[in-house]
Amino acid sequence: MLSMRPPSTTLSRPLIWPRRGRLGGAAAPQYVSAAAPAPALEPAAPPESVSFPILVNGCTGNMGLSVAEAAALRGLHLVPVSFSSREKVEKTIQVGQTDIQIYGPSKREDVVSSIADEFPDVIVVDYTGPNSVNSNAELYCKLGLPFVMGTTGGNKHLLYKSVQDSKNYALISPQMGKQVVAFVAAMKIMAEQFPGAFSGYHLEVLQSIVWPETLNAKF
């Protein structure tokens, strides 16, 4: 079968026709491309700022105050209340442009309940005290508030169980130095490889206060 169509050709690049020009008195080739100009790239829109309410409990301690200050610097909405693990601590502290009213542990349920009603999407960050870890976590789970538990101490297994039973969101990240983490890992290895080696011994952990002039230990 004969075809009257010319054979098709595949162009690997756009057609370019030479055009004569002059460079320093001598003829020089110039090229004009038939390719369509590339579309101009529009600048990408900057990401929208993320801001959500955050309740930092334990603002009278060094870690809690540092977290609250970092949150304020990044534009997060600091809830203007907080509670401490100490009973007689009612006072007001300023973090950024926010005045935060501090309450004692006896008022924590009323405080957190009112916050949950006013800020339903609030996230709680806890840097209170070791004796408050489990009771605080149970309260957050009861109210369905996602939380970050940065406080060291408490019953870890009970803490995990409270979160799992409530199906609440939680990040459990106690503040421990690398030396403590390494020591705990070493003790786990010792327990596995040398069971009973420390039978009859008693271990007591004492925390030293690094900055006695600050409120670091006064949760």
Q: What percent of the chain has pLDDT over 70?
A: 69
Give the residue ranges of DSSP H helices in the chain.
62-73, 108-118, 133-143, 156-166, 178-193
In the prediction, which pLDDT does 145 show? 95
Contact 16, 31 (CB under 8 A): yes
Q: How confident is the model at residue 126 (pLDDT cuts 50, 70, 90)?
A: very high
In the prediction, which pLDDT does 166 show? 94
In the prediction, which pLDDT does 218 show? 41
Residue 204 burial (CB count, 10 A): 4
In the prediction, which pLDDT does 36 show? 55
Q: How confident is the model at residue 6 (pLDDT cuts 50, 70, 90)?
A: very low
Can you read off the two tokens belonging to residue 130?
Answer: 């070791």
Residue with tokens 């829109």: 45
Is the pLDDT assigned to residue 208 strictly greater than 90? no
Q: Please state, in angstroms and rounded to a whole number, the distance separating the CA atoms of residues 31 and 91.
A: 78
List the domain boundaries for the chain: 53-172
Model pLDDT for residues 13-69, shown as the tens digit of each residue: 544 444 444 445 555 454 444 555 555 556 555 445 557 899 999 988 888 999 999
Assigned CATH for 53-172: 3.40.50.720
